[in-house]
């Protein structure tokens, strides 16, 4: 049975790599054309109406969710996966508390952008501002990124000296601490009541906001996918830079990297900070789209879902983790009967993938190339988290 699965899986990976090889063999202009077509499809997706493909839409089933809304969630999960991939896939640090950064991102737009937040109320009082005043959305974006980067460094500074599995548990604790603080620090976050009226790009939700409203999710999706594309390019540049190579070196063998003059702690801290900023950005988008957040939205299960996206998709490979994120966000929405069992299936998927193909569904090509013997690699080599 297991052998059958293995050989089917080997054929699948063979097909994947041959598609990849053919793609890389194309001329530059053909690749550019292909990418442009792909991006165009991404932007067209919420309007999807091609006969024969409409069954893909989540609203094509009874009681299905708003299609554009689901796409938006997929997009921010992809953003999360890209960020977590920097930490887990590239630098090899298993972070189970990524939800903490996601929450900090969401709370930073809520705390500074919403007129209902205690922080804004306090600023209004201190500086005699009108009761409608709040920090602009664009500045909140800046605040979110700075806050999450700082918290990434604050968490990483004391804990990155720890060995892998200890680090995982400490970060899990960090995620819980953030959630419990959000729940208990009533004077700062409104506690379990949550914060409403979180602004979008056009300001607080109100009838005169025509584009980024609560009902139509299409503009939100387009906004999110734009962020995703920008971040994909940036992270890709980073991955192939000196920093990216240092991450891989640290991931493969920390001691050897240190001997070769790569200071592991510094690069691990960078990975943490950059990953945190991406998590914060996705949380930020999530918060402003929802217009309401409360601490229950940031539980540890979601954090484990994030890790599942990365390891199931194929840690270390941006295409793989994005695929993992889309699958894990989309499937439960499209197949509602299975939505009740989603956590069960995530758990099973994690176990099966780790036992059958520890590299994830789409293995990292770079690693396969580095280790030459690809056939043996695909079969034997464990993921490099």
Partner 1 sequence: MHFDELIGHLGQHTVDGLSKGAIYALIALGYTLVYGVLRLINFAHSEVFMVGTFAVLILWTQLGVQNNPPVGQAILFLVLGLVVAAAASGGTALALERIAYRPLRRKNAPPLIFLITAIGLSLVFVELFGQVLPKLLGGVLPEAFGRPRQIVGMPTIIQQETLFTIGNTAITNIQLIVFVAAVAMMALLDWFINRTRYGRGVRAVAQNPETAALMGVNQERVIMLIFVLGGIMAGAAALLWSMRFGFTQNSIGFVLGLKAFTAAVLGGIGNLRGALLGGLFLGIVEVYGATLFASNWEDVIAFVVLIVVLMFRPTGLLGESLGRARA
Residue ranges that bind partner 1, judged by CB under 8 A: 94, 96, 158-159, 161-162, 164-166, 168-170, 172-174, 176-177, 180-181, 183-184, 300-301, 304, 307-308, 311, 340-341, 343-344, 346-351, 354-355, 358, 380, 382-383, 385
CB of residue 233 to partner 1, shortest distance in Å = 29
Nearer to partner 1, 53 or 177 (CB): 177
Nearer to partner 1, 82 or 172 (CB): 172
CB of residue 340 to partner 1, shortest distance in Å = 6
Residue whose C-alpha is closest to residue 273's, from 154, 152, 158: 152
Residue whose C-alpha is closest to residue 209's, from 200, 218, 220, 217: 200
CA 279 to CA 103: how far, in whole Å? 9
Nearer to partner 1, 92 or 200 (CB): 92
CB of residue 126 to partner 1, shortest distance in Å = 26
User: Which run of H or of E encompasses 155?
Assistant: helix 137-159
CB of residue 182 to partner 1, shortest distance in Å = 11
Please answer whether residues 292 and 195 qualify as being in contact, where contact means their C-beta atoms are separated by less than 8 angstroms.
Answer: yes
**Cβ neighbours, 10 Å, residue 82:** 26
Nearer to partner 1, 150 or 170 (CB): 170
CB of residue 385 to partner 1, shortest distance in Å = 5
CB of residue 341 to partner 1, shortest distance in Å = 7
CA 105 to CA 140: how far, in whole Å? 9
Nearer to partner 1, 76 or 383 (CB): 383
Please answer whether residues 254 and 264 qualify as being in contact, where contact means their C-beta atoms are separated by less than 8 angstroms.
Answer: yes
Q: What are phi and psi of 372, to 5 degrees?
A: 45, -70
CB of residue 175 to partner 1, shortest distance in Å = 10
Please answer whether residues 284 and 108 qualify as being in contact, where contact means their C-beta atoms are separated by less than 8 angstroms.
Answer: yes
Packing angle of the helix pair 98-113, 137-159 (nearest 10 deg): 150
* CA contacts within 13 A on the Cβ side of 248: 15
Nearer to partner 1, 140 or 312 (CB): 312
Q: How far is CA 69 from CA 252, 301, 333, in A?
A: 39, 21, 11
CB of residue 143 to partner 1, shortest distance in Å = 24
From the DSSP assignment, how many helices (H) and strands (E) are in the chain? 18, 0
Nearer to partner 1, 120 or 172 (CB): 172
3-class SS at 167?
Answer: helix
Nearer to partner 1, 291 or 383 (CB): 383
CB of residue 95 to partner 1, shortest distance in Å = 11
Q: Note every long-range contact of 212-216, with CB atoms under 8 Å and residues 24 or more positions apart, other chains counting.
A: 214/291, 216/68
Nearer to partner 1, 191 or 201 (CB): 191
* CA contacts within 13 A on the Cβ side of 72: 24
């Amino acid at each position: 049975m297991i052998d059958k699965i293995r050989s089917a899986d080997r054929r699948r990976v063979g097909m994947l790599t041959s598609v990849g090889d053919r793609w890389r063999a194309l001329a530059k202009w053909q690749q550019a054309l292909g990418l442009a077509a792909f991006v165009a499809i991404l932007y067209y997706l919420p309007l999807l109406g091609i006969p024969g493909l409409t069954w893909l839409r989540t609203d094509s089933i009874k009681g299905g969710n708003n299609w554009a809304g689901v796409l938006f969630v997929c997009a921010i999960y992809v953003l999360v996966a890209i960020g977590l991939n920097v930490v887990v896939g590239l630098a090899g640090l298993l972070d189970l508390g990524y939800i903490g950064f996601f929450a900090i991102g969401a709370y930073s737009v809520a705390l500074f952008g919403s007129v209902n937040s205690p922080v804004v109320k306090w600023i209004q009082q201190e500086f005699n501002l009108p009761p409608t005043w709040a920090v602009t959305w664009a500045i909140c974006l800046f605040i979110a990124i700075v806050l999450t980067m700082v918290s990434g460094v604050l968490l990483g500074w004391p804990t990155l000296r720890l060995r892998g599995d200890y680090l995982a548990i400490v970060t899990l604790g960090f995620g819980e601490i953030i959630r419990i603080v959000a729940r208990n620090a009533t004077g700062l976050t409104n506690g379990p009541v949550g914060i409403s009226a979180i602004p979008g790009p056009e300001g607080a939700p109100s009838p005169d906001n025509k584009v980024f409203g609560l009902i139509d999710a299409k503009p939100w999706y387009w906004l999110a996918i734009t962020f995703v594309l920008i971040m994909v390019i940036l992270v890709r540049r980073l991955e192939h830079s000196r920093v990216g190579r240092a991450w891989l070196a640290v991931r493969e063998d920390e001691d050897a990297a240190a001997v070769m003059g790569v200071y592991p702690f510094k690069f691990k801290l960078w990975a943490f900070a950059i990953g945190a900023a991406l998590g914060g950005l996705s949380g930020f988008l999530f918060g402003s789209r929802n217009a309401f957040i409360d601490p229950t939205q940031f539980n540890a299960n979601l954090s484990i879902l994030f890790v599942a996206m990365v390891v199931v998709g194929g840690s270390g490979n941006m295409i793989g983790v994005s695929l993992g994120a889309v699958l894990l966000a989309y499937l439960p929405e499209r197949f509602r009967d299975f939505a009740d069992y989603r956590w069960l299936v995530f758990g099973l998927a994690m176990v099966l993938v780790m036992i059958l193909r520890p590299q994830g569904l789409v293995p990292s090509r770079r690693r396969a190339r580095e280790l030459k013997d690809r056939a043996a690699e695909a079969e034997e080599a464990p993921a490099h988290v």
